[in-house]
Every structure is written in structure tokens, then in C-alpha cells.
Amino acid sequence: MVLSGMLNHEQIEAARFRSIILRNLRMFFDEKGYLEVDTPLLSPDVIPESSISFFTAPFHNEFLGDRDLYLVPSPEVFMKKLISWGSGNIYQISRCFRNEEQLGSLHNPEFTMLEWYTVESDCMESLNVMNELLHALSPFDTRGICREKPEVMTVAQACWRYAGFDLEKTQEPRELIQTALTLGLSVPPDVHTDTWEEIFHRIFLTFVEPELPKDRPCFLTEYPKQIDCLAKDIPGTPWKERWELYLGGWELANCYSEETERSRVESFYRRGYERVKHICETKGRNMPHVDGSFPGLFHQDFPPCSGTALGVDRLIMTLAGQKKIQGVILFPLSDIL
């Protein structure tokens, strides 16, 4: 459907509300002394992540020749380069792009992300910053969710409370598959025993996520190590230093104590490369160009830091009391195709 005519009153008011929230986001981080940065949307290479499909932009140049560039799925790579060069605390409100995104009430292939990094910090300190941000935005919250006391629970506690199983005792794929069957989920007979993460997500999305509090902010902490990401491990446990924020029932933000040990980053890169290579071979696609220099950022002087990514469109949707992001973004792809 191609939109025609002028903006209606609701769309104008939504644009005005969005402008107010963006202004207040910047004000919050500026007052805390974070440096706002503006990094490229086009990149010559990517971090290999099997869960993300990239938009490719053909680049033609008389002297450099033809090559593919990529619309960034997040500003992470460039922001970590700045941190490695000594930028200190930084934030960015950036357009991001993810291909093969479903078009729905919570998804648009082009979206806005707030990402910030705090040096000499961990994810729990960033949780406090997130709480302060919610408090700062509470005057604009039409449903009052941000004014309620947040609930903080581990992923294991949430699994026990809402699905009745002990996550710490289901660390092997066969154990988790049996838990899924006990809960009544159908598991394909050809499922492999190395798909712990896939089975966990099916259980979590079916039984846990829908039951999370919707009347107040909810932080889930200590995610399982089997969900591969660049968050630090919690020594002596099967968990990672990571949390996610749910607001109004929607996943809104994701935070890590960032992995800064070069050997671990290199290992993550190798695993991601092999997974992406397998997907490309299976689907007959070209392998994206991977930035092999990225692990080298994590030299001896790279500071401990925490990074948080927050979906701005979902945030504004929740504050405005909307149920679809289409109500708070202008020209969503679902409306202009």
C-alpha cells in the first residue's frame, strides 16, 4: 500500500511526541557527561552473527572498483573502535537495518536504536542507569509503567516461576528437550542434540515471556552461556553477565558486561563465521565480508565496559500507549510497499 495525501492529526502528534522523547534521551546522556557520536550507516564489513541477515548496498567507484557495502545492523563495531581509541563514555541514536525482519507490530527492517557504552562499568551498573532513564522519561509515560518499582529476576528464576523447571539442571540438550516435551511442546524428530539454544527459545517464548510483568519494568538477568554473545561469563556458573529489559510486555533493551579478552572475542568470531558460512552455503548466498581486525581492538589497554542497546521505536510506542510501532514511526515499510 502506498500512502497518499497529507499527514493526519494523529501522525503529526506522534511525530511531535517522538521528537520530545528523542530530545529527552539526548538531554539525559548529555547531562551525565556521555559524548554523543555519529558513526557511519554504511560499512565495508560486518560482525558474523547467524541471527542477523544484512542489507547489501553495491558500491561502484572508478578507482576502488566495485564491492558490496552493508547497512549496519547496529553501531557496535564503530563505537567499540572509539572506545579502544580512548573516547570514554559514549552514546548514539542511530538508524539500524536488519534484513529478513518480519513486518509486524514490533518489527520494521529499518529502526532506531539508542546504544550507549560506559567504561570501567559492568551490566549491573548499567541497569541502574537504565532505571534512572526510565525515571527521567516517566512524565511522558501515558500508562505510568515507568513510575512503578522495577522487578529484577534471573532468567533461571523466571523459568522456575512461569514454566516450573530448573534451568540450572537442564544444561544439556537432551535434558532441555525432555523438559520441552514435558511442558507439551512438540519437538521435531530430526532435532539435533546441539540445539540447546533453539529449544530454550521455544520454551521461553511460549511459557515465560508472555507471563512477564506488564504493569512495571522487568529486568531479566544472568542469561545462559549457551546463548552465544559477547558478554562476559560469570565465573563458576552457567550464566553470562547480561540483562534484558521488558517494558509493557515487550523486550526493549539488551545489556552486556562486554567481553574484552581478545582470545574470547576471536573464538566468538570463529564460531560466528562458521555458522554464517553454513547458512550462506545452505541458502546459496554470498558470504558477507567479515572485519578480521575487530578482535584486535581488544588490546591490553581496552577498558572494562558495559554496552546497552535500546529499541527507540518500541520505547516510544510503549510510552505513548500504542500497541504497534507503526503508530510512532513515519512511513513504516509495511505502509509504503
Query: From first to last of its 337 residues, what are the pLDDT tens digits of the chain?
Result: 344 556 688 888 999 999 999 999 999 999 999 999 999 999 998 887 767 788 999 999 888 888 899 999 999 999 999 999 999 999 999 999 998 777 778 889 999 999 999 999 999 999 999 999 999 999 999 999 999 999 999 999 999 999 999 999 999 988 999 999 999 998 876 665 558 998 999 999 999 999 999 999 999 999 999 999 999 999 999 999 999 999 999 999 999 999 999 999 999 988 888 888 888 888 788 788 888 888 999 988 899 999 999 999 999 999 999 988 888 998 888 888 7
Give whole-number Cα distances, 226 to 129, 174, 223, in Å: 27, 14, 9
Q: Provide the 10 A C-beta neighbour count for residue 72.
A: 24
Cα(288)–Cα(277) distance, integer angstroms: 9
DSSP state letter for 138: G
Superfamily of chain region 9-150+216-336: Bira Bifunctional Protein; Domain 2 (3.30.930.10)
Q: Which one, of 325, 310, 330, 332, lies nearest residue 25 by Cα? A: 310
The DSSP code sequence of 63-121 is TT--EEEEE-S-SHHHHHHHHHTT--SEEEEEEEE-BT---BTTB-SEEEEEEEEEET-
- Chain position carrying cell 544484512: 54
59, three cell numbers: 558500491
What is residue 302's three-state secondary structure? coil
Q: How far is CA 333 from CA 93, 108, 326, in A?
A: 20, 7, 9
pTM comes to 0.93
Gap between the Cα atoms of 238 and 223, Å rounded: 8
